[in-house]
Amino acid sequence: MKEIVQSVDRALSILEALSDQEQGSGLSDISKQIDLHKSTVHRLLGTLIARGYVEQDAETNRYSLTMKLFELGNKKVEKLDVLTISKPYLRELADQTNEVVHLVIREGAEVIYIDKVEGDHTLRMHSRIGRRSPLYCTAVGKVMMAYSDEQKRRVWWQKSNIEEKTPFTIIDYEKMQEEIKKIKAQGYALDEEENEIGVRCIGAPIFDHQGKVYAALSISGPATRMTAEKVDEFSIALLEYSQKISKELGYHI
């Protein structure tokens, strides 16, 4: 196990605690949440304020995050050609299906949602840019697993906290292997309410110029709307758009 620097670990705990508080948080609340003495939290907050990561409201004395973390993360995202290339295609696909379209990349055994475009339906999806989800129980994650080699798949599986998020979640590796075969045969993956009850997703791979899976594209919606007929219809459009993006990234079939 790598050595943990205590002060850094504590400062990151404060940032993570504040990330869940839209209206900010008081010193005592932060102290209780991360189980640290108020004097220690106060010192760390002083450093975070000095570096521009946290700000304190002069009237309420509550602490909240600034946009600096977003700015840092956005610098990395901006370097991803796939984000710029995909934007018009995501809009077109959302307009065509009237459902939510997501673009994700992989980091470790998780996917990170880096873009999202909503359709016109009034019932919205509670997803957000920057959200992380496991590979094994999402359509985008499963399709990225399917188009990676077996050794990587097994490592990602072992690194995941495999749990039955819903009664439909695949938690057996051999069953996942059967799912992988199905995904490769049809070219896309389905999340049949495996991550969240009531939500069905279709995911397709995006390849780079080397032919490696680089990202994934998905269409998500309530299971009541995403019927078998809609899945058949949307999967055709999803594969078309994922192939367009892949082609712009230099991928040749």
Structure tokens at 224: 């009541």
User: Which whole number is the average pLDDT over 76-83?
Assistant: 68
As beta bridge partners, residue 56 has: 63
pLDDT value, residue 72: 78
pLDDT value, residue 70: 78
The DSSP call for residue 4 is P
The DSSP call for residue 25 is B
The predicted-structure confidence for 1-39, as pLDDT tens digits, reads as follows 567 889 899 999 999 999 888 788 999 999 999 999 999
The predicted-structure confidence for 188-206, as pLDDT tens digits, reads as follows 999 999 999 999 999 999 9
The predicted-structure confidence for 150-194, as pLDDT tens digits, reads as follows 999 999 999 999 999 999 999 999 999 999 999 999 999 999 999
pLDDT of 252 over the 90 cut:
no
In angstroms, rounded to a whole number, what is the distance separating the alpha carbons of residues 7 and 10? 5
| Residue 249's pLDDT band (cuts 50, 70, 90) | confident
Domains, the chain, with CATH or none:
6-70 (1.10.10.10), 80-248 (3.30.450.40)
Are 53 and 15 a contacting pair, CB within 8 Å?
yes
